[in-house]
Structure 1
Amino acid sequence: MTLSCFDLGEQMLSVDDARQALATLIERPLGSEHVPLAQAHGRRLAAAVQAPINVPQNTNAAMDGVALALPREGVGAKQTHWPLAGEVLAGQYRRELVPAGHCVRITTGAPLPPGTDTVVMSEQLREPIDDKPAHVIIESPELLKHGQHVRQAGEDIAIGETALPAGARLDAASLGLLASLGHAEVGVYRRPKVAIFSTGNEVTAPGDPLPKAGIYDANRFTLIGLLAEQGAEVIDLGILPDDLDATKSALQQAAEKSDLVITSGGVSVGQADFTREALEQLGRLAFWRVALRPGRPMACGWLGEKQTPFVGLPGNPVAVMVTFLQFVTPLLNLLHGQSAVPPLRLHAISDNVLKSRLKRTDFIRGIYHTDVTGQLHVSSTGAQGSGILTSMVAANCLIELADNQDGAQPGEVVSIQPLTGWL
């Protein structure tokens, strides 16, 4: 049975064990709501969607040309001159049977009328001169195949089939699919409301003059971006001074109106770190030790009467991003009714020496690419200091060296976590 974060004491945890323990902070997913389809991008489906119709609704033409009937067996047709029995345009539906040996003009997307099963594209047709009655000539009829250039009803999705499973992230293609099924609105999980703030008298808002001993507030904007990518609604509490009362007041407000509270820095035992004391006074606080780099110190717990989950991330910018991806993203998945699965992992061949040590998981910023044979390769971005944000900008993956690896040599296969395309 997985222990909660409050039962861990001072034991050192692996990244996977820490992820499982942290997941116990979320007791239930958020409720659901219905939103217009145009506002549903990035949301998570609260329930599976079954197709109420066939898509396409009718068997239809995939090309402009003529529709006719061909035998199922054999290839081609002996008939070259085909009398025209009318036309069917996209948006029209013809109920009259097309007589045997006749054809109708048809445009792409138009339903095939009764008595036809095959489309011959315009490029294979020739119009006779002074044609009475009207007919077309099919060039190279021996090349025709029964059912060619036809899209069958339900070919995309058949009525009653599951179009999208519960929990699916709605991307552009998903919105198109839902629209094709006639959905004007859709049931989705409510966006998690996540409160964030930065702490420290030295932390300065971008745009303000930078004091001699100051630093610009990078972490808060990094978290805003990460949370937006995960479909969360951000409650930005700004920068809090090193003051116990101000910190307590902000945390109380955050706990009342959010589903999750995240801080970066301020949870160590330093003389001016008041976040830890405020947390202990307002709720139940736990610290957990994880054998990873970058990524310490960290804290977690509950705040206020609502027992709002709290996660205190490290203060260094890269450590904030790494720990968010490993631990906060799974929490947001739980709030969206999903399981706390680890990030997507792929395998790649290392192109350079990678340093690590046993009994600790190292996350190295990397750049992956494919060679001429399609094999995935990866290399380090260079210096790996946890304050070097430029290396995170350059990276398209994290190279994960597990706690049973003491590094990797060129040519060795390593695990990578892509940083793009995995929402």
Structure 2
Amino acid sequence: MTAETPAPQGGTGQGPSEHDFIYDIHDRPAAAAWLPLSAQHLFAMFGATILVPFLTGLHPSVALVSSGIGTLLYIVLTKAQIPAYLGSSFAFITPIIVATQLAGVSGAMVGAMTAGLVFVVVAFFIRTSGIDWLMRLLPPIVIGPVIMCIGLSLAPVAVKMAMNDPATGAYSLVHLGVALFTLVITIACNMYFKGVLALVPVLFGIVSGYVAALVLGLVNFGTVLAAPLFAMPDFVLPGINQPFTVSLSAILIIAPVALVTITEHLGHQMVLSKVTGRDFLRKPGLHRSLLGDGLGTMLGAFLGGPPLTTYGENIGVIAITRVLSVWVVGGAAVLAVLFGFLGSVSALIQTIPTAVMGGVSMLLFGVIASSGLRMMVDRHLDFGRKRNLIIASVILVIGIGGVELTVGESFKISNIALATLVGLLLNLLLPGRDAAEKGGSLFQKTEA
């Protein structure tokens, strides 16, 4: 989800001083503390990271490996100066599903690589031209409704998973009961847990729903008992063990969504800068963090994992624990890679009933949509202005209604990508743009 907090204006005065931290960015914890500190980050990202491949038909074990390797690459490319974790991005769920139907898994992964390439290209332009042009390209009146579309267009997926028996496709009161129980537990954990535990409501919800499904006989442990302790994940590897399928439709469906996750990336960099008292947009620079995110996504997609994004959950762990160490974040990445090679863990993840994931998704997808609404509210966008009303209205109808642009059998742009592109064009072409931007810049400071 997109964060809204403004970047600090310098290394001091806007965030905690380095003396407030238990471990600073380059501090290496003792071995006894290192493992539990890294495990906290692993738990914070685990539920969401495995949910994306679960929904898109990719392999959870590959997603864990790709997120871990992508995070390690990110740390290297940012000169080990930004303690951020990269996990599976929710923004690409629908595009990957549609692209896989059109071009197969290999074609979808090549399309995901192009999304990472968009990050790399934007990083290059920021390196040479600064950030002002990006601010004008991604105003809240475009990105806010697009984020709402991402969440709301996924609502039918969550509902079907929650109330249908996957074996028959028919309505099941038992499955719906498990989904609602999972939803209630997730909400309760989110509302009433304190400290670090407040950052893992998704994981608690999944575990609780899994136990309920186990009691009701919806879980089959046969594959877990038969699984080897160590197993090679089912890597896709386009051009090696899969054909390197270049599908224009898959690229046009997936690549434009990178503009949304670039906005998410910016928001997270601002929040993390405020939490740590640094200005990561200047040092090591936004171009380096975007490059790390983009190349991490490209490498992850080559392995067969979903596109990656910086995780707000892990930023929350840093804020609560006051542990900034990139060694800790890197340790979590190594643990994720190790988990991906544990065959029993992979088999266990795949026994999670769809009803459990449906229950969690009912909250998560709604939160995504609400975060887009929050962006527009926080920026005080005036919908009495015809310009704002028109842009938001068209984006919402195209995105939620499922409008697709199809030409022949090999050219297709999905609803989310089309809504993003139409929104950008309307923002550029409709009059009153300068006046609108003065009152609603994506990066202006929000009043507390």
TM-score by shorter chain over 0.5: no
TM-score by length of 2: 0.20
In terms of fraction of residues, the more strand-rich structure is 1
In terms of fraction of residues, the more helix-rich structure is 2
TM-score by length of 1: 0.21
Which structure's CA Rg is the greater one? 1
